[in-house]
Amino acid sequence: MIIQPVILCGGSGTRLWPLSREQYPKQLLRLTGEHTMLQATALRLNGLALAADDVLRAPLLIGNEEYRFLVAEQLRQVGVSSGGLLLEPCGRNTAPALALAALQARVDGADPVLVIMPADHVIQDEASFRAAVLRAAPLADAGKLVTFGICPTAPETGYGYIRVGDALGEGAQVVRQFVEKPDAATAEAYLASGEFLWNGGIFVIKASVWLAKLAQCRPDIAAACDAAFAGRKVDHDFVRPEPAAFAACPSDSIDYAVMEPLTAGEANQAEVAVVPLAANWSDVGAWSALWEIGDKDASGNVLMGDVLAVDTQNTLVLADDRLVACVGLDNVVVVETPDAILVADKGKIQQVKEVVNRLKAEKRGESHAHRKVYRPWGWYDSIDTGERFQVKRIVVNPGGILSLQMHHHRAEHWIVVTGTAKVTRGEETFFVSENQSTYIPLGVVHRLENPGKMPLEMIEVQSGSYLGEDDIVRFEDVYGR
């Protein structure tokens, strides 16, 4: 049996604003432990106790074109080789994403069992998770569509539920019904009955079985994904489906497109199985969820970063950039970032989406981007801005190369703090070392590179009549932007 991890790493995670934003969503953040959520997901199956003739492949990832290099870099940092990164030209939900993954998993003629994991979940008991995968994989290899049902610990109204039926062996049960998010009274009844599990959105399905069932239940999605995959372009580990064909694909989730239709009638229920999972799982869907799973002090506080708490109880405080001091708080969430601070009643934290919606309506950049912006070559932080100037701290990774570019409205002064910069300015190329500087006049074609083995850190001072990021004319770019 071949096991192919599939990591769904799309999604914007705006319910964790201001730390999670569209250009740097929650799956790329380090919210618990030493790894980001994506890294923890990629490492989750390490140590899987496979049979001698079983094979565990490198993970296959499906994500957004915009942060493809961030995903690749995070995998590199933890020594995980990618089995490929499928880049969706636009979001079409999880059913089309899984179809692309299943097609990619079969390009070499194999028919692996796919272990489908969202990149933005926390699973604290990873040994229990791996044990559940080992129970689910033989069922999937035999043709079952297997989902994991999270053993409920409370009458949660924020999750969908799975109603379980007869035992199937391997610790699994037949799925009798998928049900929507309940009200509080219904959730209480579900919990009391013992017949319901939370729907965690984790699946184990054989590639050919998923493609066949998708064609049966949603032939329109299957056809669009087939066309998009047939027209794909491959660039190293990046696989780009044909954009127009994928854009024409209907948007639908794995549950709605296939799992629910297959459990709608008694005759079909035996096709879908559920394996109960008790592994301290959370989808970290809101800041209150991070407080629930976090390590609490004697006053019930979860404090992350440089925080001083006085006479404060049952509160989550996350300091990303500065000292945060709290006095006399109870049941509050405080999240500090360099350009925005959230202060909210923990019981009303779901309303953070209204904040994001208002920021979008007002076309404010804080809705989707951080002050610190990541690029394929490294990152920059806009540390000060005035009417005709902007100051940036720039870090270029070893071997990083910015595009060959020109600006119509601004000049730039570069001061190297650490490392060595290779500079192209017009027809000349030269090196700038630590404590040296150079000047790029307005309208001159230029490029910055880090030829060394250590990060290049520099300060850039821009001056001119317009300083927006769209004042860039690119002539060459090794990253294909």
For the chain, the farthest-separated pair of C-alpha atoms sits apart, in whole angstroms, at 76
Closest CA to 169 of 146, 204, 132, 139: 139
Rounded average pLDDT over 450-472: 94
**CATH number belonging to domain 2-282:** 3.90.550.10
Res 12 pLDDT > 80: no
Residues of the chain with pLDDT > 70, as a percent, come to 99
17 has a pLDDT exceeding 90: yes
Q: Which amino acid is at 146?
A: V
pLDDT of residue 116: 98
pLDDT at 64: 87
pLDDT band at 209 (very low <50, low <70, confident <90, very high): very high
What value does the mean pLDDT of the chain take?
94
Is the pLDDT at 18 greater than 80? The verdict is yes
The conformational region for residue 242 under phi > 0 = left, psi -120 to 50 = alpha, else beta, is beta
Q: Is 393 helix (H, G, I), strand (E, B) or coil?
A: strand
pLDDT, residue 69, reads 86
243-269 pLDDT, tens digit per residue, is 999 999 999 999 999 999 998 866 566
Mean pLDDT confidence for 350-379: 92
Span 448-472, mean pLDDT? Answer: 95
> Chain-centre distance of CA 293, in angstroms?
19
pLDDT band at 185 (very low <50, low <70, confident <90, very high): very high
Contacts of residue 369, defined as CB under 8 A and 6 or more positions apart, other chains included, come to: 21, 22, 23, 24
Q: Which residues pair with 50 in a beta bridge?
A: none
The model's pLDDT over 305-343, given as tens digits with 9 standing for 90+, comes to 999 999 999 999 999 999 999 999 999 999 999 999 999
The pLDDT value recorded for residue 38 is 96
pLDDT of the residue at 54: 92
Instruction: Give per-residue pLDDT as tens, 278-287.
Output: 999 999 989 9
Q: Which two tokens stand for residue 26?
A: 């929650």
What's the confidence (pLDDT) of residue 269? 62
C-alpha closest to that of 248 among 232, 214, 229, 225: 225
pLDDT at 33 over 70: yes
What confidence score (pLDDT) does residue 268 get? Answer: 60
> What is the tens place of the pLDDT at every residue in 384-414?
999 999 999 999 999 999 999 999 999 999 9
DSSP symbol at 378 = E
Give mean pLDDT, residues 445-462: 97
- From the centroid of its chain, how far is CA 421? 32
pLDDT of amino acid 267: 56
CATH number, domain 372-476: 2.60.120.10
Domain boundaries, the chain: 2-282, 296-361, 372-476
pLDDT at 237: 83
CB count, 10 Å around CB of 436?
Answer: 12
pLDDT on residue 22: 86
> Among residues 137, 133, 164, which one has the least CA distance to residue 47?
133
pLDDT of residue 94 exceeding 70: yes
> What does the alpha-carbon distance between residue 263 and residue 47 come to, in Å, rounded to a whole number?
33
Q: Which residue has the tokens 């629910």?
A: 260
Q: What is the mean pLDDT of residues 419-448?
A: 97
Q: How confident is the model at residue 14 (pLDDT cuts 50, 70, 90)?
A: confident
Q: What pLDDT score does 226 carry?
A: 97
Cβ atoms 396, 455 nearer than 8 A: yes
CB distance 63 to 186 below 8 Å: no
Q: What is the pLDDT of residues 220-250, one digit of tens each?
A: 999 999 999 999 999 878 999 999 999 999 9
Single pTM value for the model: 0.89
> Inter-axis angle of helices 94-105 and 219-230, to 10 degrees?
50
